[in-house]
Structure 1
Amino acid sequence: MPSSLPRTSLIPRPTKARIKPGHFTFDADTRLRITDGAEPAADLLRTLLAPATGLPLTPAADGPVVLALDTALTGLGNEGYGLTIGPHSLLLRARDVTGLLRGVQTIRQLLPAESLAASPQPGVRWTVPCADITDIPRLPWRGAMLDVARHFQPLSYLLRYVDLLALHKMNVFHLHLTDDQGWRMPVSAYPKLTEIGGRRRQSSIGPNGDRYDGTPHSGAYTRAELARLVDHAAARGISVMPEIEMPGHVRAALAAYPHLGNQPERTLDVWTRWGVCETTFGVHEEVFDFCRTVLEEVMDVFPSPYLHIGGDECPTTEWEQSPAARTRARIEGLRNPAALHGWFLDRIGTFLTRQGRRPVGWAETGTELPDGFTVMAWRDPAHALNAARRGHDVINSYYRATYLDYPQSADPDEPPGQPGGVVGLRDVHGHDPLPETAPPRTATHVLGTQAHLWTEYAATPARIEYLTYPRLCALADGGWSGPSTWTDFSSRMEGHTARLDVLKVNRHP
């Protein structure tokens, strides 16, 4: 492992950076001067540097490393920071503590790569170059979604996943907790959701559902584990947004509680195939009682202002065939049973809004979600702008640039991924979630972008990281810094891979 890196290899690229001659050295005598409110940043700096460096970084009134909150720095926003490094001092300033947390990650990247190691690294001089950096993110939403419904991942890996997001200045961890193939969050009023819905007897091999592995798969988090995840992420400036799917993608819930479906007498298993299942929630009042109870407990655990309720890929066949659903559509004055989809989402969205939360949903066209929803438009970049024009806040999630379950190359040795194409590193790098051609009024509604990893083809942490990196680096760079040339990005990535290697990230070459 090299003891130094090209000092321009920061990922994401700072807004303004000037590297100057000289360096500042952290050593056993380095003390921190911490202003009121900056303690979380000091704690994070100590926590992250201690394993490799062993430095105590104790507080002192005259410490040469200053972490300072200054509410007068309004131009930095909530996440921006200023970093000034001289031969004898280091000053990190921000208007908000989140900005200080982002600056801590920059300090980590300016240090030798060995500072990221999980064990002591003797013989390394812990220097950072003298520099003046002012750094403000371009987009307020820079997220990553991990699907733990199809393949459950232990809490220990979710904590690592968050750590890697924080290194790249991401700020939203979207946790996909439920789907047809599994329910991973406990709900005290409905224990069968995890007891039955958290287990499936086998899993499909490949996209067609004609071959199975014959191996049972199960897993669910405790409430305490999810609370720990939320706290861990918050300490790194990341919000955890939960996703509870409805009214489709609910086969696991219906396996646990069949009376919530359109055929209450039916017995279902947790789905063993991938793809879109035709089973949906019914539209009787007991279903809405269930949804409200579940979401109330979700809100107790996750303080995120945003709560994702899925909403897309919802076949309406069962409603069209159900006398009860057809009657409900007629009573509600809907044109047909298919219109129950928007009606269902509107009821749930209104409930969340009244609880002070912002409902989020997937959008296949950009026009099917009710007013008040934040839209994750994934089918086409034009859909994102169409939704923004209608007044929705939007996360541009174009699947050909943000879905990391697709293979990264067409190489015959590439491990299997989602069929239907390749999403290469250049594709992710080249995607601009906020095109320059967007009218200003529309642009204000484009919150940002997000990477997504559905785990049909990613059963293990090693496989997840292979699919995620280095593609997530490109998304993080564009979300924070805006568009860059391929030459600029790839040259910085060449240095950044040393950090990933010290962290033992199982990355794509």
Structure 2
Amino acid sequence: MTDLIPRPRVIEAAPGSFEFVPHAVVSGPADLAGAVRRALAVLDLRQGDEVPGGPVTPRQAPISVERDESLGPEAYAVSVTPEALRIVAGDAAGALYAGQTLRQLLPPDAFRSVPLPGARWTIPCGRIEDAPRFSWRGAHLDVSRHFMPKREVLRMIDLLAVHKLNRLHLHLADDQGWRVESRAYPLLHEIGSHRTRTTTKHFRGEAAFDGTPHGGHYTLADLAEIASYARARAVTIVPEIDVPGHASAILAAYPWLGADPSRRYEVLDRWGISQAILSPLPGTIDFLTAVFAEIVEALGHLPYFHIGGDECVLDDWAASAEIMGHRQSLGLATPADLHAWFLRRLADELAGLGSRAVVWDEAFVSGMLREDTIVMPWRGVQVGRRAAAAGHDIVATSVFPLYFDYAEAASPEEPVAIGDAITVGDVTAFRPVPGSWTAEEAGRVLGAQFQLWTERIPDGRTLDYRAWPRGCAMAHVAWSGSGEGFAGALPAHLHRLDAYGVEYRPPEGPRPWQRGGTGTRRHHPGAVPVSQVMRHLEELTHEPDSTRPSLG
């Protein structure tokens, strides 16, 4: 019971063990029993109403699940004796997490897709009580820079559920690609979803391209499927359409949305920040509202919708007489104020659709956002503290240590990364709420999530390497509030990931086939240390009126 990730609040071991019999029955409310069965699918459990021959007898049903809403959302308690297994859960998510905890108490082969011949399933007796420290425990997946097929998204959802992570932030639109069907504006996916080539160099000042087209998008039906799959695993999808900057893919399809409608754009084939920016005029608001409505309808109940707001170059706005006239008509003093007004208007439209807006921290600096807008302070804790003090809920997303596109070691054996280095230990030591914050500021922290930007993550195998086991550490911290017990539990947990088929980065370093080598995936000897990046970002956050791009 000491090898559990994340670590439960209460663990009490007792003598003996409980053995699951073939086709054991789970009795209790259908939604809770179904959640337990989903987590323990390898056991082929049944629900009481599926047993032929009438009511379930105690002999048939040593496994029971009950609802107790007083436990709170996502909370559960498990009691195990040799004779019976009893689960009490606050809701279906709590029942699912109880099942995931029981799965970890089984042998690692419980993480395979089917049971191996002769498998016996036993768990130790005892009691576990658990509830999350934070309500937002997430992962951000950028599918714009490199498109990830639907199968990879569904697999990521499964892995989030295994680790009791409950948010998948899908970065669906950026300069390098638009990734969702639009029936209202079909050129978005017909033109904006693919580029003619991709840069093979990873730093500024170098120009080399692979000459290979890249692209892909999800249909609205795909989004509906993804959302339904996620809900069944207690994961909420948070879509992101990043505006008004990072707009090359949108403007390649609909150039009239730009500050200069006569300019023509292409889907960007290189990394970094572009000057492509949508105009803040009413026609753009109407366009985006129609597209947002399509996405909200496809995803169903959608509590959160991310609208970006980061790294905007406002020069084209300042150069446009029409846009500056619009700014003056609104009584706004600067282009930065217009940037904040634009995002607030979109947040108002989303509120009408039943969704709460989420933004990156550059969108917060003018102080003009809707009060209920959630801020993700990627540039560090100081700007996060300012947002919390101003009354905004925040989700910790700081580059250090939550950007997993950084290498895990400054070693030539590592594959190419944006910089060096963020280790498992760095993540384990992270605290979403710094100890120096006031109680009111701390109460604004919803949780944390790790970021997977995919300029250097071209496929699912690389995604596994970057995400795990650092994602395990983040899950541990976001659930329990600290990294206590993680290091001791990780070796056993890696055996579970092996059985699952996760191609994680081993703690001792990459396997021979995971190394960067000497080709396009080689580790760059001049990769920027993450400490230097954080110093730079810290300097930028002292300029509260800046929406200028901060990092290329």
1:43 deviates by 4.3
Give the match for residue 484 of structure 1: 483
Paired amino acid for 2:481: G
Match of 1:23 in 2: 17
Distance 2:336 2:74 in 1: 43
Equivalent position SS for 2:24:
coil
Q: Are the equivalent residues in 1 in contact too, given 2:14–2:126 (CA < 8 A)? A: yes
Which region of structure 1 is more displaced relative to structure 2, 27-36 or 104-113? Answer: 27-36
Q: What's the CA shift string for 1:19-47, capped at 9, x where partnerless? A: 2111111121522212354243144145x
Question: Which residue is 2:339 aligned to?
Answer: 341
Amino acid in structure 1 at the alignment position of 2:226: L
* Mapping of residues 76-155 of structure 1, within 5 Å: 76-155=71-150
Query: Structure 1 residues 226 and 36, CA, compared in 2 at 3 Å: closer, same or farther?
Result: closer
1:266 to 243, 263, 268: 263
**1:476-506 Cα distance to aligned partner (Å, 9 max, x none):** 0000011134xx3111001100001111111
Contact persistence 1:181–1:200 (CA under 8 A): yes
Aligned AA (1:428): V
**Of 226, 229, 234, which residue of structure 1 is paired with 2:226?**
229
CA distance in 2, matches of 1:414, 1:118: 30
| Equivalent residue in structure 1 for 2:29, among 18, 35, 39 | 35
Cα drift, residue 125 of structure 1: 1.2
Q: TM-score, normalised by structure 2?
A: 0.87
Q: Match for 2:65: what amino acid?
A: L
SS at match of 2:218: coil
In the alignment, which residue of structure 2 is the partner of 1:4? none
2:406 equivalent in structure 1 = 406
Report how far residue 156 of structure 1 moved: 0.9
What is the match of residue 302 of structure 2?
304
- Cα distance change, pair 172–399 in 1 and its aligned pair in 2 (3 A): same
SS, match of residue 155 in structure 2: helix
The 2-side partners of 1:289 and 1:35 are apart by: 45
Contact (CA 8 Å) 1:185, 1:194: kept in 2 or not? Answer: yes
Which whole-Å CA distance do the structure 2 matches of 1:329 and 1:55 have between them? 62
Give the number of aligned pairs: 493
Which ranges in structure 1 are unaligned for 5 or more consecutive residues?
1-6
In the TM superposition, what whole-angstrom CA distance separates every residue of 1:119-147 from its partner, at most 9, and x where no partner exists? 33112210111120000100111010100
CA distance in 2, matches of 1:19, 1:120: 26
Amino acid at match of 1:393: D
Corresponding residue for residue 386 of structure 2:
386
260 and 125 in structure 1: CA distance in 2 versus 1, 3 angstrom threshold: same
SS in 1 for 2:134: coil
Give, in whole Å, the separation in 2 of the partners of 1:225 and 1:92: 34
The reply to whether residue 242 of structure 1 matches residue 239 of structure 2 is yes
Return the offset for 1:263.
1.5
SS in 2 for 1:371: coil
Q: Partners in 2 of 1:274 and 1:374 — Cα distance?
A: 27
Structure 1 residues 29 and 507: alpha-carbon distance in aligned structure 2, compared to 1, 3 A threshold? closer
Within the alignment, does 1:9 sit opposite 2:3 as a pair? Answer: yes
Number of the residue aligned with 2:517: none
Q: Distance in 1 between matches of 2:366 and 2:380?
A: 14
Which residue pairs with 1:3 in the alignment? none
- The answer as to whether partners of 1:36 and 1:69 remain within 8 angstroms in 2 is no
**Equivalent residues of 2:220, 2:295 under 8 A apart:** no
Query: Contact 1:320–1:338 at 8 Å: present in 2 too?
Result: no
Task: Name the CA distance, whole Å, in 1 between partners of 2:313 and 2:474.
Answer: 32
Work out whether residues 68 and 89 of structure 2, in 8 Å CA contact, stay in contact via their aligned partners in 1: yes
Q: For 2:352, which of 330, 333, 354 is the aligned residue?
A: 354
Distance across 2 between alignment mates of 1:34 and 1:417 = 48
CA distance in 2, matches of 1:317, 1:164: 42
Counterpart position of 2:444? 445
Distance 1:366 1:337 in 2: 14
| Distance of 1:210 and 1:37 partners within structure 2 | 55
SS in 2 for 1:177: strand
How many percent of aligned residue pairs carry the same amino acid? 39
Question: What is the RMSD computed on CA atoms of the aligned residues?
Answer: 1.6
Q: How high is the TM-score relative to the length of structure 1?
A: 0.94
| Partner Cα separation in structure 2 for residue 284 and residue 234 of structure 1 | 36
- SS in structure 1 opposite 2:482? coil
The match for 2:280 is 283
User: Residue 496 of structure 2 aligns to a residue in which SS?
Assistant: helix
2:165 counterpart of 1:170: yes
Query: Quick one: distance in 2 between partners of 1:14 and 1:110?
Result: 12
Q: Distance in 2 between matches of 1:268 and 1:310?
A: 20
Does residue 158 of the first structure (1) align with residue 192 of the second (2)? no
What's the CA shift for 1:413?
A: 0.7
Q: Contact 1:9 / 1:496 at 8 angstroms: preserved in 2? A: yes
- In structure 1, what is the Cα distance between the partners aligned to 2:298 and 2:37? 24
**Structure 2 regions of 5+ residues with no counterpart?**
507-552
> Does 1:181 find its partner at 2:179?
no
Cα distance in 1 for partners of 2:270, 2:80 equals 55
User: 1:14 Cα deviation (Å)?
Assistant: 0.3
Matched, 1:460 2:459: yes
The answer to whether the Cα contact below 8 Å between 2:473 and 2:483 also exists between their aligned partners in 1 is: no
Shift of residue 159 of structure 1?
0.7
Secondary structure at 1:38's aligned position in 2?
helix
After superposing the two structures, state which structure 1 stretch, 26-35 or 370-379, moved more.
26-35
3-state DSSP of counterpart to 1:17: strand
Which amino acid letter does the alignment assign opposite residue 288 of structure 2?
C
